[in-house]
Amino acid sequence: MPVNTKEFFDAVAILTDEREMRVTLKESGKGALLCGTACFVGGVLLGPVGLAAGGIAGALTAARLAKGKFRSAGDIIRNELTDRQREKLIEHIMKAVADLQITDVAMLLPLLAGSSAIQMEVLKGVVGFLTSEMRLQIVD
């Protein structure tokens, strides 16, 4: 029985949304760099008080610049993936659940709803795909 892949990706997206899995394109690293730089400059100019002031100013600036750049993994799965990336995501998920003797997506879809062990393996596959194939960083 062929499985509706849209249904499968919707189920995976719902699972990532329930776990509040968000991703970013290097915004956390940029924010840390900005915050650290501001803290350093403040410390050099004003000493201990400058460290605090620079840290606060850097953190507020980093937060403002990063606003809206963190997206849910479910949104990316639903709307951003090309057909090739969808195939790769299925491959990653099937590798993650291979130890559970699941051989195709048609078997996986009904099991996904009821088994927390399978959900965790699917999430591992999604994380592996997002980090290795799409070069995204997982926030949550």
**What would the pLDDT profile of 27-39 be if each residue is shown by its tens digit?**
667 778 888 999 9
pLDDT digits (tens, 9 = 90+) for 59-71: 898 888 877 667 7
The answer to whether 71 and 104 have CB atoms below 8 angstroms apart is: no
Query: pLDDT-based confidence at 1, cuts 50/70/90?
Result: very low
The answer to whether 12 and 126 have CB atoms below 8 angstroms apart is: yes
The answer to whether 15 and 122 have CB atoms below 8 angstroms apart is: yes
**Averaged pLDDT, 113-130:** 81
pLDDT digits (tens, 9 = 90+) for 78-92: 888 888 888 888 888
| Assessment of whether the complete model's pTM goes beyond 0.85 | no
